[in-house]
Chains A and B, each alone.
Chain A
Amino acid sequence: MDKKYSPVIGLEIHVELSTQSKMFCQCSADWFGKEPNTQTCPVCLGLPGALPVPNEKAIEWCLLMGKALECQIATVSKFDRKHYFYPDLPKGYQISQYDQPFCFEGTYTFTSRKTNQPKTITITRVHMEEDTGKLIHEDTDTSVDFNRSGVPLVEIVTGPDFDDSDDVKQFLEELQVLVRYLGASDADMEKGSMRLEPNISVRESSSNKLPDYKVEIKNINSFRFAKMAIDIEVKRHMEMLEKGETPIQETRGFNEKKNDTISQRVKEEAQDYRYFPEPDIPPFTFTKEFIKQIADQLPELPTAKYNRYVIDLGLNAEQAWYIVSDLRLSKVYELTIKGKDKVFAQQTANVLKNKQRETTPGGTIEIAAENLAKQVDSLYKKKTTDPGNLVAIMDLVVGENAAAVKEYKDGKTTVLMFLVGQVMKGMKGQADANVVRQALEKKLNTL
């Protein structure tokens, strides 16, 4: 990347919570793939007279996410109405949070795979809101499906702290794992349960001022596309700056087929959402005890687990992330190595990493752990070696492989392993390879 310029990237991430019911009504929140408008009620349709009643579980998860991102939790908070007109927004406003988000001023630290350096991102806020309906375009018609309307969404906003698309991709991957650890969402970009809108601008590397423009990118539905879209955009900005132009403040859509971003809406002035406190929902006060209760629910987070694997167990970075990034796999792993030593933990990691993830032992965590332990044992456990049998087999192997024995005697010591293999084969695996090796070496040296 051109050293003259450096990208300035901040992220807005929406995570759809996997609560049973929607944010403000009792309708099922599991909308994906359901027949349109079958999971609706007066509240999520925004019918006259209907009122929102907040989902406590969703709020708890939002606070938990805030805690996991080392945020402060508001002691006093509230919902606000955010007004705009769009056919998928049935009330003419979205219930969101404006000036008193549930969580704010957090940080997330990770080791950049690219630079191998620690990187800290500020988390500006983590707040709660409701999802909108979905427009379905068919030929010249547009229909609205309100199944998604009112599904709980958590919005995470980072500071403009990224300067590299690879770091963004890594952060997103880690965030997805984090959210899955909390059990709050499957955070699937393809299904839209995790959505990313990066804000991108480019400044001269010598400056540390924020550029006075930014471009928001929408329509990104995979981690790979996130990186692609950012790279395309950064390159576009640099080329413009190089020509003495300044990119305009706008919203652009990523087009994966054309591998390009396309202008959608130019923001000449900030849209006025006319926020005001949602009068239908009383404000919240969270006591210290309550916030502590939430914090106590936090499981061991992926970053902590990763560090423990690397530092305490001595796994390499790749192995550690491989296991940590899959919640189920990490549970199987933890159970397998429970009460065992570091060497066993490393051997187990080897077994896991050397196989494809698809071959991860199936069944319950307990059964999977048991099977995994057997695999590790069969590969690493010392076998008892019958000395009488060993002598007989060694004689046989030496007799049958005169050429190889000669090579060894001529100094080509690497042939030893071949002979060890032959002996092991003759022993039908019922021998410890080290014992065989030592015995064979001794025999060959006395020949």
Chain B
Amino acid sequence: MDLLGKSLTELQELVKQKKVSGGEVRQFFAGRIKKYDKELNSYITTTEPSEGSEEKDIPIAIKDILCTKGIRTTAGSKILDDYLPQYDATVVSRLNTGGLSLLGKTNLDAWCHGSSTETSDYGPTKNPYDVSRAPGGSSGGSAAAVAAYLAPAAIGTDTGGSIRQPSAWCGTVGLRPSYGRVSRYGLIAMASSWDCPGPITATVEDAAHILQLIAGRDPHDATTIDSPVPDYQKELTEKKTYTIGIADEYFEGVTDEISSKVMESVELLKKMGHTIKKVHLMSPKYAVSVYMILQRAEVSSNLGRYDGIRYGNDRTHFGKEAKRRIMLGTYVLSHGYYDQYYKKAQKVRALIAADFKKVFQEVDFIVGPTTPVTALKLGESEKYSFFGETMDILNEPASAAGIPAISIPVGLDSNQLPIGMQIMAPHFAENRLLNIAHHLEKEIAFDRLRIIKEKYG
């Protein structure tokens, strides 16, 4: 049975029909990882089936920022080089309950600090479309593994764009759910009020399937919301028409190739019967400023526990980027600066959320490019003092507001590199977001299998 390129949903159907076993699926991916991952470096750790996992379970990849009981979890940093968590993250245990086991832990920027996976202490991950290029980040390992079909699906985490930006650069589907929809328990905290686990998949249908398993209130996470979880897969099927907003502010500084590709998809949406409406939103640059301050502040707090007393490796093992963020975060929280930076940033964050809320009274979604540029060469990130912010500029507003957003591939640029389109929706409207993304995906018919067959077949 040729499993190459089968979506997670398709694989599950095959296992259900007993055409293939979960064990065979695991063997298949283990073989591919062995063959291709030396070059791509998308995994930090690969795992054997754990005790209690069933023959029907399908293994997926999980970003190495989510704790896995008894399985090394590094956060991409040598500080936690040999750290074995004593508990599973809620996301991990919910996936297991839902029939998805662990294939391996994927590479990331150390502590999720970055948008290229180059700050990892375990070497950079390569972009499957062009191995001289970065996959984006911080969930670059997860996106690359899915793009090269070294995993049928993966879990990433998104703080300021860490699911959507690598998904755009690797041609995968990446969903950042609403803040509070998915538990953060067991997610090694980067910026606690922003962090959000979500799926990185080959199809929107797979994203809906995974979200179904991981969404919902968790008694271990006080910030999860106690509202009913819709049946995301069921809500995919019905074709609906929506009013879709498009804002000039989200095309500023974006390459012409990306802009025109995204506008082609907007035309498609129009043809599908949706209404397109011009809207105005605050410039994304404000979200960048807010992110730069609040995220650093939370980072400096969250990393305080790695003080050298526990976890083996001391503070000298922090990389440059982590040190920069800790210093900046410490500064903005210092006495006398708090009001000027942190408090002000909190106020602007509230304004961003209010701005979205206002616009979502007029439209159901806002669409635009996911990234201003397509995948950059490895090493390019060194040239930017705030690389992450520059690359994630279009992602950070949704993160600041805590609203859900998805990136789906809409085509390739002249370098044959994937282009992502971002769709943003109001709080807890993942059902609608997945619905429109699913139907648009079918119309676009992005050929995700081509790269797999050409280079990783």
Residues of A bordering B, CB below 8 Å = 42, 46-54, 81, 83, 85, 87, 90-93, 144, 270, 272, 274-276, 279-282
Contact = CB atoms under 8 A, between A and B. Distances in A.
B188 interface: yes
Contacts, number: 90
Contacts of B305: 46, 48, 90-92
B188 A270 contact: no
Given A274-B334, A279-B298, A47 B307 contact: no
Given A92-B304, A274-B333, A48 B220 contact: no
A49 B187 CA distance: 5
A272 B304 contact: no
Interface size bracket, B side = 35 or more
B86 A42 contact: yes
Interface in B285-315: 297-298, 300-301, 303-305, 307, 309-310
7 contacts: A47-B86, A52-B222, A53-B219, A90-B305, A93-B304, A276-B301, A276-B338
A81 B189 CA distance: 15
A431 B22 CA distance: 97
A275 B332 CA distance: 11
Interface in B155-188: 184-188
A152 to B, nearest CB: 16
Given A48-B83, A50-B87, A274-B334, 5 more contacts: A42-B85, A48-B73, A90-B305, A276-B333, A279-B191
B223 interface: yes
B222 A282 contact: yes
Contact of B297 (A46, A47, A87, A276): A276
A279 B193 contact: yes
B342 interface: yes
Nearest to B183: A51
Per CB-CB distance, the 5 closest pairs between chain A and chain B, nearest first, are A92-B304, A279-B193, A274-B333, A279-B192, A49-B186
Contacts of A54: 222
Contacts of A49: 66-67, 85, 89, 184-189
B75 interface: yes
A11 to B, nearest CB: 25
B184 A42 contact: no
A50 B310 CA distance: 15
Which of A46, A92, A93, A144 counts the most chain B CB atoms within 10 A? A92
Contact of A276 (B66, B223, B342): B342
A92 B307 CA distance: 8
Interface of B: 66-67, 73, 75, 80, 83, 85-87, 89, 184-189, 191-193, 219-223, 297-298, 300-301, 303-305, 307, 309-310, 330, 333-335, 338, 342
Contacts of B185: 49-51
Contacts of A46: 305
A98 to B, nearest CB: 10
A276 B80 CA distance: 26
B111 to A, nearest CB: 10
Contact of B221 (A48, A51, A87, A92): A51
Nearest to A53: B222
B338 A47 contact: no
Contacts of B221: 51, 53, 280
Contacts of B304: 83, 85, 91-93
A48 B75 contact: yes
A85 B307 contact: yes
B330 A48 contact: no
Nearest to B195: A279
Contacts of A91: 304-305
A81 B300 CA distance: 12
A193 to B, nearest CB: 26
A272 B222 contact: no
B201 to A, nearest CB: 23
A85 B314 CA distance: 14
A77 to B, nearest CB: 14
A322 B300 CA distance: 53
Contacts of A282: 222-223
Contacts of A42: 85-87
A110 B251 CA distance: 69
Q: Which of A49, A50, A93, A279: most chain B CB closer than 10 A?
A: A49
A280 B223 contact: yes
Nearest to B309: A87
B222 A51 contact: yes
Contacts of B330: 274
A228 to B, nearest CB: 35
